[in-house]
Structures are given as structure tokens and as C-alpha cells.
Amino acid sequence: MNTISFSDISIVSCGTLSLELNALKKEGFLDTPQILYTTPGLHQDPPELERQLVRRIQKAREKTEKVIVVYGGKFCYVNIDEPTRLMKHIVEEQGPKVARIEATHCMDMIASQSERDRIGQEMAGGEPVWWMTPGWIKFKKEVFKGWDQALANENFPKHTGGAIVLDAIGYMDEFMANDPEGFLGYSDWMGIPLIPYTVSLDRFKQLLLDQAQRLMS
């Protein structure tokens, strides 16, 4: 798949996707000189998200002119104080050599809407699903910062199809084998089944390649 080099492109990403990006770097797909991460879970704190994202992009451009931002467009940055300000505006303000991958959130980077519809039908019979990636498991304290049991009870149980974790790196197998009590405890806290589902990183790779190609034009 990869006929394009990332050797002159930096990556700036939400830390929630560090597991997948580090896997791509380890396998040699991403030959980027650097990957800089913001704190996982900043979708809950849009002002801090913007501050960290801009700082990371500025830091990245000290090494490379080109930067790919790995953040969703629709759901990762929702500024209720300034609702017309969107993720695309933040990225556009950083200059023409900064591009963001085309996805709505991290789950959409791993599996498209049509793929999630198919998986949801297969695993949950079309019932409402709470979608996650492994980063939502590893970085629970950050992603669900400030959530108590009452808030969990208010949000999760309405997803009667359970919580499906789109796992492209084998994280959930290790988690269940090494910390079965932690796995069960996470599911108990959510009040719905935690369902691992194996996928590939092919879509994520293509989204990154699309933006690398764009930056070369």
C-alpha cells in the first residue's frame, strides 16, 4: 500500500491513537521523523485541546515544514462558547503545509461508518453501540476524566448493543489475558458488555497516505 514516504512529514495526534500510530511506526509504514501527542481525552476540554494542538504543530514545524494532524473533524472539537469555530479552522490557521486526515473521530479512522454499521449488525443485531478504540481502554482516566458512576450510568446503558472496541493491534487480547479483573471491572463500570472486535489498520493507513499525497502536491 505504501509507496509514499513520510520522511519529511511530522505527525501531530491525539494521544488516544498513540497505540495505533506507534504500531505503524514500528512496522515501518510511518517513517516520519517525529510523532507528537496531545493529552488523551481533550474532546472534553476544547480550549485546552486547541492550546495543545497549536503548540504541538508549532513544535513539529521546527523539524519539518509538513504536518499531518490526526484528529477527527466533527466530534473531537465542539466549542460551545464559539460553536462556529471548528477543527478545520484551527488546522487551516496553521498554514498550507498542515493537513488533517478526513475522519469524524478516532473510531472513524479505524473503521468507516459503513464498516461500523456492518460490525454493529453482526455483533449487536443493530442495537445502539458505544464505539471505542484501545486507547479508550488504556487511557480511561484521561478519556473519562471527571466521570463518576452516576454519569456512566446516565450515558452507557442506553447503548444496548454494548461497547465494541475496534482493535487493530491485539491490545484487547493482551488486556484480557493479563488483567481479566480490570477487563471485567471496566465492563461493570460501563454497565454494558465490553466487546473486542478485530479490524485492520488499512483504512487508517490510507487516510494518512491521502494527506501525505496532498502535502506533496
Q: How does DSSP assign 186-217, residue by residue?
A: HHHHHTS-EEEEE--SHHHHHHHHHHHHHHH-
Q: What is the pTM assigned to this prediction? A: 0.94
Rounded-to-integer distance, Cα 20 and Cα 7, Å: 18
Mean pLDDT of 14-37: 97
pLDDT level of residue 56 (50, 70, 90 thresholds): very high
110, pLDDT greater than 80: yes
Q: Which CATH class is domain 9-107+201-216?
A: alpha beta
Query: Does the structure show a pLDDT above 70 at 156?
Result: yes
Instruction: Give yes or no for residue 176 having a pLDDT over 80.
Output: yes
Residue 36 vs residue 42, higher pLDDT: 36
Average pLDDT over residues 28-43: 95
Beta-bridge mates of residue 40: none
Q: How confident is the model at residue 30 (pLDDT cuts 50, 70, 90)?
A: very high
**Mean of pLDDT values over 128-147:** 96
pLDDT of residue 2: 55
pLDDT > 70 in the chain, percent: 99
* Rounded Cα gap, residues 164 and 186, in angstroms: 13
End-to-end C-alpha distance for the chain, whole angstroms: 19
**Axis crossing angle, helix 180-190 with helix 171-178, rounded to the nearest 10:** 110
Give me the helices (H) in the chain, please: 18-26, 46-60, 87-92, 106-110, 113-124, 134-138, 140-143, 149-155, 171-178, 180-190, 202-216
Averaged pLDDT score across all residues of the chain: 94
Q: Where in the chain is the domain with CATH 3.40.50?
A: 9-107+201-216
Residue 1 pLDDT more than 70?
no
d(CA 128, CA 124): 8
d(CA 104, CA 70): 11
How far apart, in whole angstroms, are the C-alpha atoms of residue 21 and residue 31? 11
Distances (CA, A) of 148 to 43, 134, 144: 17, 21, 9
- The two beta strands, 66-70 and 98-100, are parallel
Cβ atoms 71, 100 nearer than 8 A: yes
- pLDDT at 97 > cutoff 90: yes
Look at residues 129, 133, 141, 130 and name the one whose alpha carbon lies nearest to residue 182. Answer: 141
| 99 burial via Cβ count (<10 Å: 0-12, 13-18, 19+) | buried
